[in-house]
Amino acid sequence: MIDIDYFKQFNDNYGHQAGDVALKKIAIAIKKSLSRKDEIVARYGGEEFVSLLPRTNKSGLETIVKKIQENIANLEIKHSWSEISGNLTVSIGGASLIPLNHNSYAEIIANADKALYFSKRNGRNKYTFYEETLN
C-alpha cells in the first residue's frame, strides 16, 4: 500500500488538475520501480496505490520499496504545504505471506494497510513491513 503524504494539502493549494498530473507521474514512477511482468500497480482510491508483487520475499520487497521512494523523490514534484518535505513523498506499508488455504486477499491488504498507517503515524515518507506486533 502506497499513500501520498499530505495530498489533501497539495490538492487544496495547487488545484485538482495539478493533483491529477501528480497522481499520473507517481503511478508511472511506481510502475518503473517494478521489474517483473507479473508485478502490477493500481490506484486503490484517492491518493493510495496498491502494488502486487508475486513471488517476492521480504528482501526483494525492501529493494522495490526503496526504488519506489527514490523514483518518486527524483520527480521533484514541489509541495510547499507538506509538513515533512518540499516535494511530494509517499508512505508505504508492505505485507507478504505464503498462500495457504485459510489466507485471503483481504488479509494481506489489511496487513499492508496496518503497516502503512504505522509509517504515517511515525513521521511519513517511510516504509514499514507488517509484523504481528502491529496488531
Q: What is the predicted pLDDT for the residue at 21?
A: 98
Q: What is the predicted pLDDT for the residue at 73?
A: 97
| Catalytic-role residue among 47, 48, 62, 131 | 47
Q: What is the pLDDT of residues 18-68, one digit of tens each?
A: 999 999 999 999 999 999 999 999 999 899 999 999 888 889 999 999 999
pLDDT of 99 > 80? The answer is: no
User: Do 29 and 75 touch, CB atoms closer than 8 A?
Assistant: yes
Average pLDDT of the chain? 93
Task: Give the phi and the psi of residue 17 in degrees, each rounded to 5.
Answer: -65, -45
Let me know if domain 2-134 sits in CATH 3.40.50.300.
no
* DSSP state string for 83-119: SS-SB--EEEEE------TT--HHHHHHHHHHHHHHH
Q: What is the predicted pLDDT for the residue at 106?
A: 85
Q: What is the predicted pLDDT for the residue at 104?
A: 76
Asked whether the whole model's pTM tops 0.85, one would answer yes
Q: What is the predicted pLDDT for the residue at 107?
A: 87
**Is 47 among the catalytic positions?**
yes
In this prediction, residue 105 has a pLDDT band, given cuts at 50, 70 and 90, of confident
Q: What is the DSSP letter of 36?
A: S
Domain map of the chain by residue range? 2-134
In this prediction, residue 98 has a pLDDT band, given cuts at 50, 70 and 90, of confident
